[in-house]
Chains A and B, each alone.
Chain A
Amino acid sequence: MADKGTDPVQMWHSFLADMEKQVNSFSNQAMQSEEFSRVMGQMTGASAGAKKAFGDFMERYLAAMNLPSRSELIDLGERLHHIEGRLNDIMSLLQRVHTDVASADGTGGAPRPPRTKRPPSQAGGPP
């Protein structure tokens, strides 16, 4: 009979669980050091700096190639965003008008359930 103490599968699972806890705990301790904060701050700064320098280079390159840059596409996106916003407003307005008309002539969509539900403590029935 394979009891839990000698079952190799169980032992493997226990080992994995312990290892996960220990590695997480050890790493968390290491991450609480000031040295870690300093290195992480430097890395984040360096990565952001590199990204910006690359972005600037690409912008000059695209301008030389007579292609739109990212910022120009963003401007275009912003204009589309505004158009989308106005379309949404029109949609909302149309929906409101449609709801008003439908409720006035009784042809509205599927009726919603009544808002009359009581909590089980007040309803008296089973929850």
Chain B
Amino acid sequence: MTAAAQQKKPEPSIQDRIQQEVQRAIQRSVKGVEYFASAAPVVGTTAKDVLHSRGTMKLYHYRPLADEIYRVPILIVMATTNRGYVLDMVPGQSLIEFLLKRGFDIYMLDWTAPRPEERGLKFEDYVLDFIPDCVRRVQQDSGETDVSVIGYCFGGVLSLLYASTHADGPLKNLVCFTTPIDFRQMKLFQNFSDRRYFDVDRLVDSIGNVPPEMIFQSFEMLRPASRSIGQIQLWENMWNDEFVKSYRIFDRWAQDTLPLAGEYFRQTTKDLMWDNKLYERTMTVGGRRADISRIKVPILHAVAEHDHIVPYDAAKPLIATVGSDDKEEVILKGGHISLVAGPNAIKRLWPKLDSWLSERST
């Protein structure tokens, strides 16, 4: 329908609206029963192979969907708190599928719940072992020396730590999505972990790995009303299959939170939340300096205008601090999740990512 025709479309009368609402109420009741009876939607269906698996770490290679691909493979480093299928929800709403069709060779470092015996995992394991191990395997599998890395949220923090401790290569490009640098600006998380009252040592020493419920609740507390309002909206839109499907896949992902390894959580709290070492450029990992000003590779940082988890002020200093000449920050409409997945991402982030990477992947 053209814009002119849309403008001419008359507003429905009160009778029409009542009739429409009655129909929707009937459909809600019918579909509401279906909702509770049906299985959760299947996600992460893009064809892939497990290239390597070790404890909490899993390396996937997605099967190419183009006849010709760019030379440089891409390794996506997922956030340690959530599952990687947020980037591969369903066909047509999958960043992975989009990138594959645009001719990129995609690998993903995804995480499973750390086991109790992995409670001792630290930044050193993630930054000096897991990521370099995956990079090596990507090089081996693709036959290419150069590798680009994309990090989402805390996956971005780990990617920055990796890039700054491996400044001599083989990183070709670095892309970060909503990556915090200045942890003082994460005001609510700062308050949750106030060092005067939050005894992280006692917590980790008592329970080992931090349970997923605690992680999930801390995210939920940032927007305490949103879950209830979301459920009201779900009920209202129960007649709308597309809305319900989208709600279910995002809700499933949001609740599919991972536990965090105890020592890793302790380090995150002390080094980043309390001492803000990444921003202060005093961070070290396994005795190696992790100063992000040492990063010289081309870097793109995509941030969301309405991010309630990583506020813009926390992400802003990244581009100013890295030492790259070729660096760019894009501020896009949307929130922490809608930046990377859903209709907003399809329209905004994905094309930007495609054009930025394509120029730097030959």
Name the B residues within 8 Å of A63 (CB-CB): none
Query: Given A2-B13, A28-B222, A52-B207: A88 and B199 within 8 A (CB)?
Result: no
For the complex, what is the distance from the CA of A3 to the CA of B14, rounded to whole Å? 9
B17 lies within 8 A of A48 (CB): no
B225 lies within 8 A of A23 (CB): yes
Is A121 interfacial (CB 8 A cutoff)?
yes
For the complex, what is the distance from the CA of A19 to the CA of B225, rounded to whole Å? 8
Give residues 225-264 of B contacting A (CB, 8 Å): 225-226, 229, 232-233
- Interface size, chain B (Cβ < 8 Å): 54
Write the nearest CB–CB distance from B51 to chain A, whole angstroms: 9
Name the A residues within 8 Å of B69 (CB-CB): 112-115, 117
Pick out which of these stretches binds chain A: B187-195, B293-301, B319-327, B334-342: B187-195
For the complex, what is the distance from the CA of A34 to the CA of B191, rounded to whole Å? 8
Query: Given A24-B225, A40-B192, A49-B202: A88 and B362 within 8 A (CB)?
Result: no
B116 lies within 8 A of A48 (CB): no
Name the A residues within 8 Å of B191 (CB-CB): 31-33, 36-37, 40
B207 lies within 8 A of A77 (CB): no
Q: Which of under 10, 10 to 19, 20 to 34, or 35 or more describes the interface residues of A?
A: 35 or more
Name the B residues within 8 Å of A74 (CB-CB): 116-117
Query: Given A88-B52, A116-B68: A24 and B197 within 8 A (CB)?
Result: no
Contact with B along A25-46 (1 / 0, CB 8 A): 0011001111011101110110
B11 lies within 8 A of A24 (CB): no
Question: Which residue from A3, A112, A113, A114 sits with its C-beta under 8 Å from B11?
Answer: A3
Is B151 interfacial (CB 8 A cutoff)?
no
A45 lies within 8 A of B202 (CB): yes
B207 lies within 8 A of A51 (CB): yes
For the complex, what is the distance from the CA of A113 to the CA of B116, rounded to whole Å? 41
Give residues 36-94 of A contacting B (CB, 8 Å): 36-38, 40-42, 44-45, 48-49, 51-52, 70, 74-75, 77-78, 81, 85, 88, 92
Residues in chain B within 8 A of chain A (CB atoms): 10-14, 16-17, 21, 52-55, 64, 66-71, 103, 105, 115-118, 142, 144, 187-188, 191-192, 194, 196-199, 202-203, 206-207, 221-226, 229, 232-233, 355, 358-359, 361-362
19 contacts between A and B (CB under 8 A): A9-B21, A19-B229, A20-B229, A24-B224, A24-B225, A37-B198, A38-B194, A45-B202, A48-B202, A51-B207, A88-B52, A88-B53, A115-B105, A115-B144, A117-B71, A117-B103, A119-B362, A120-B355, A121-B359
Residues in chain A within 8 A of chain B (CB atoms): 1-3, 7, 9, 16, 19-20, 23-24, 27-28, 31-34, 36-38, 40-42, 44-45, 48-49, 51-52, 70, 74-75, 77-78, 81, 85, 88, 92, 112-122
